[in-house]
Structure 1
Amino acid sequence: MQPRNMSMSGVVDLAAVKAAQEAKAKAEQTRAEAARHGGGGAVAPADLVIDVDEAGFEQDVLQRSAEVPVVIDFWAEWCQPCKQLSPVLERLAVEYGGRFLLAKIDVDANQMLMQQFGIQGIPAVFAVVAGQALPLFQGAAPEAQIRETLDQLVEVAEQRFGLTGLTVDPDAEPGGPAVDEVAVGPYDALLEAAVRALDAGDLAGAVQAYKNVLNDDPGNPEAQLGLAQAELLQRVQGLDPQRVRRDAADRPGDVAAQIAAADLDLVGGHVDDAFGRLIDTVRRTAGDGRDEVRRRLLELFEVVGTDDPRVVAARRALARALF
């Protein structure tokens, strides 16, 4: 299972990266607070299967994926294989006892989500873990295969993200809170202001809000990531993409041209292209120019997320290019 970052604004783009990083940070905060207060609340078995639409996707899937892996069942009323698969997934959601949450999405009523995930046919099953989407399988798979896939998903969620799932209480009232309320952190208001500024296109405001947090807390991981993302958006604002890419193609050894093109690659969701371009530039350059490219590449690693498989592979490639 290979992950990809998801958001409502594109399959793989900077806003998606932001959503994934926010989900990871929220997962870490939730786990820390739960441990501090002796654990969270419990959900009823009925709450392990939910219907999700486009309006609720951000909250019901992306945000919940910071607490528990969310398996998405894309279905439609007219789809006969869906009628075979959905009851199996619903039964397994209860049987797995909170180790994943099942979100059912009617593709007829939610065409945008179907396009976001690049779905060509249904039934199609994805998972979202800490904001990252993983394609699981398509079609009415045998139950043994489904169980094997779910076991792998649960293992990935626990080992890579530390998500152990939800506590299920058969006596809990359906629709109750899944976890105890998390205490508000000292910088939550500033971080929220920065996110709102990003969403509104106020890049200067977002940069300043993140810097305000870092002035008091230089090691704040969410502010560090947010600042890198906002500054990336600032760098590409006003650029002429055609000219930038033409300059990069005409001048492969031009450090500034390659860095500008890599920024555009990343904002457009072409993560591997951005990394590959800068690694190739490292191989072709030396001295201060080479060091400038290396620093920009490390900044882009932080934007995507240091545990992303593409970053891990690019780090190895960078080491080979340098040494």
Structure 2
Amino acid sequence: MTGAVDLSVLKERADAARNRPATPQAPRPPAGNDGAGTAAAVPAVVEVTEATFEAEVIARSDQVLVLVDLWATWCEPCKQLSPLLERLAEEASGQWILATIDIDANPRIAQAFGVQSVPTVVAIAQGQPVAAFQGVQPAAQITAWVDEILAKVGDRLTGLPAAEGAEVPDPVDPRMAEAESKLDEGDFDGALAAYQALAQAEPGNVEAASAARNIEFVIRAQAADPSVVDTAAPDDIEGQFAAADVLLLNQRPDDAFDRLIALVRATSGDDRSAVRTRLLSLFELFDPSEPFVVAARRKLASALY
């Protein structure tokens, strides 16, 4: 899928936003390193065992904040939290790293932390636990929690070593960072406005324009009644548009496109032109090489000519 924002990720964020209070995300401080996460010699996520715990967690926490994710293979909530933590660690640009520990394979570590339930996440700085939480938490809340810890201990950490020969990454555009922050908070309207403003200020910024299109689509699709998929009359153009949005948002692009292509065949004049325009706008949400987009474009051409 093209653009800065994946539709499936947007849907997950929208669903999560409806089930959590808005939590402002604090700005991320330098936290003891230069922020050049892509240039760091240490990976953002490391699997830790009892044999490597001393080096990867205790010693490493003198350089950078280490979040220890204590999980188990049988733990269903862990399957939600661990991927989220891994994504946040990758996005943190070396300001903190994630150490994942299977408590069944490493029972002495679990015992040392006094783990009573999983998932449990413990923040380690300078060899000492400084904060912890249990259970699944939304991304914005985790980020705010980490930022609060970094504000207290970040200036005491030495920072990660740079990888040999690594290039210094381009600085993050604060306008893009602001838009992404609003997405993390579930503020889709604010994120849309931020991306649109950036796209207008920089007409060549393909990433911002694509992200704005994707978010605008998700806002529209979220507003549609899911039952329209079953209730829209075959000749109800607006109803069919809404149904296609719902199908597309729920990862059913073939069904969404086929529905609108059938509508192209059943209409003429301005109505057919409107349906064609809607289809083309939906195609722009995806990489043009996606097989379902290629197939839909072929079907559309056949329906038109």
Q: Provide TM-score, normalisation by structure 2.
A: 0.49
Higher RCO, 1 vs 2 (CA within 8 Å, ≥6 residues apart): 2
Greater C-alpha Rg: 2
